[in-house]
Structure 1
Amino acid sequence: MTEQQEASEDAVMTRIGQAVILLHAGDREEARNRLGEIWSEIGEDGDFLHRCTLAHYMADAQDDPADELAWDLRALTAADGLTAAGPATDGRTAEGSTAGGPAADGLAGRPGNAVPARRPGDGPGRPGPQRAVRVFYPSLHLSLAADYVKLRRPEAARVHLARARAATGALSDDGYGNGVRAAIARLERRLATEPGAPHRPFPEQSP
């Protein structure tokens, strides 16, 4: 990958990160506008990692739970595309991909707000995006489960919550990983009290 390409990739992640700062500061409308502009630029065929990161945060910026769900589904689709794509098709190897960047912090922090100091994949010797994206799946499915809870669709929420739990093996035993696990456990306990909940407890609640 050339230095010019790397600079371009870093510029996209920097812009996403700047929008996320606005989002966390409470300026949801401006964050939504900026993320929308970037989404229009990178397009449906843009970098999978960019689209996954952007869609994840765009979901946070939505006021309508249905819109939030739509963006979280886009984030999951992008993650699946990254996993299926193998080495990047633009000439980058997995190890050479731009896996770092400001927008990465907190990618998997919803809805438990477990924001890692840096995203898996940053720094020297970082894993490729196909490996790093596995760390995102617990949060991606957790976010979808939370969306379905808001939309009063507990069965769909349980499906994604089970997938989130099944994917936690990719998480490290650190603040970020423990935060995501704790958020999964909280939603499991909440769903266990919903009408129609299965009699068998979630693994987290087993004696």
Structure 2
Amino acid sequence: MEDDVMARVTAAVQRGQAGERASARAELAAMWAEVERGEGDDFHRCVIAHFMADLQDNPQDELRWDERALAAVDGVTDERAQEFHESLRVRGFMPSLYLSLADDHRRLGDADRAREYFGKAQATADALGDDAYGELVRGIADKVGRALAEGSTEPLPG
């Protein structure tokens, strides 16, 4: 399925990863406004919010976007996700969404909430495949777990 919103999200995320964080944030904010007006669906909301969180400079703002992503995923079905890519399953989104929230709460000094979301991420990690995405998320889980064990509130190392 041709999905203009997802193509634009991908382009904005790539710009953000290339160092153009402010312009990527602005683009994703504009797309968020579009989907909130009904020009998208919960799949778009989840993906936009998840990537928008990664572009925030303030951990509290990042938490708000990650909470929006988690709220939106409730309205996403496997069938809808597979319209974008046949391999997608909503359960496979959950470890990353939960890890993001665990890391937000950890950096904000709320270790109890961080551990709660970290536990949810671990409980859904079996949904990750043996692929690059699965390896990436498992690597992030290792970093978040270490930081939690150390009591660190510092951003994760690159």
TM-score where L is the length of structure 1: 0.67
In structure 1, C-alpha distance between the alignment counterparts of 2:56 and 2:106, rounded to whole Å? 16
- Secondary structure in structure 2 of the residue aligned to 1:62: coil
4+ residue runs of structure 1 moved beyond 6 angstroms? none
**2:17 aligned partner:** 24
Pairing 1:172–2:157 present: no
1:182 Cα deviation (Å)?
2.5
Cα distance in 2 between the residues matched to 1:170 and 1:79: 15
Return the offset for 1:70: 0.3
Q: Distance in 2 between matches of 1:27 and 1:70?
A: 21
Write the distance in 2 (CA, Å) between the matches of 1:172 and 1:133.
Answer: 13
Give 1:178 shift: 2.5
Is 2:98 the partner of 1:141?
Answer: yes
Give the 3 Å change call, closer, same or farther, for CA 36–183 of structure 1 in structure 2. Answer: same
The SS at the match of 2:83 is coil
Q: 1:56, 1:193 → 2: CA distance?
A: 26
Pair 95,52 (structure 1): closer, same or farther in 2 beyond 3 Å? closer
Runs of 5+ unmatched residues, structure 2: 153-158
- Name which one, 1 or 2, has greater alpha-carbon Rg: 1
- Residue 71 of structure 1 and its aligned partner are, at CA, apart by 0.3
Alignment of structure 1 residues 1-207 onto 2, 5 Å: 6-7=1-2, 10-43=3-36, 46-83=40-77, 94=79, 98-99=83-84, 122=85, 126-127=86-87, 132-194=89-151
Give 1:162 shift. Answer: 0.3
Measure how far apart 1:175 and its partner are: 2.8
SS of structure 2 residue aligned to 1:134: helix
SS of equivalent to 2:76: helix
Identity of aligned residues (%): 44
Q: TM-score, normalised by structure 2?
A: 0.86
What is the CA–CA distance in structure 1 between the aligned matches of 2:73 and 2:37, rounded to whole Å? 13
Task: Pick closer, same or farther for the CA change 1:48–1:156 going to 2, 3 Å.
Answer: same
Give the length in aligned residue pairs.
151
Structure 1 182/96 Cα, relative in aligned 2: closer, same or farther at 3 Å?
closer
Task: Give 1:140's aligned amino acid.
Answer: L
The answer to which structure has the higher helix fraction is 2
Where do 5+ consecutive residues of structure 1 fail to align? 1-5, 87-93, 100-121, 196-207
How far is 1:133 from its partner? 1.4
